[in-house]
Amino acid sequence: MRHVRAFALFWWDFIVGDDYRLAVGVVISLALTAVLTRAGISAWWLLPLAVLSMLGLSVFQVARRSTHISPR
């Protein structure tokens, strides 16, 4: 049982990593793309838009956190 738990924790850390919000954003983006595609809508634009949005949000959060640290 210990090996199963270690295996599951490895995959959790690998997929989710440090920011669970990015992992949730990826899942939502993929699901929305699949739903739109099944509805017959061309959704090629959704994933690049989602990646840019999540990247911008991530960079903004890191920049906001780093303003509290004094530069050398």
Written as one string, the DSSP assignment of 1-67 is -HHHHHHHHHHHHHHTTT-HHHHHHHHHHHHHHHHHHHTT---TTHHHHHHHHHHHHHHHHHHHHHT
Specify the pLDDT at position 62.
Answer: 85
Specify the pLDDT at position 67.
Answer: 73
Neighbours of 36 (CB within 10 A): 15
- What backbone torsions phi and psi does residue 18 show, to the nearest 5 degrees? -85, -20
Q: What is d(CA 40, CA 54) in angstroms, rounded to the nearest whole number?
A: 26
- Predicted confidence (pLDDT) per residue in 7-66, tens digit: 999 988 988 887 888 889 999 999 999 999 999 999 999 999 999 999 999 899 888 887
pTM, full prediction: 0.74
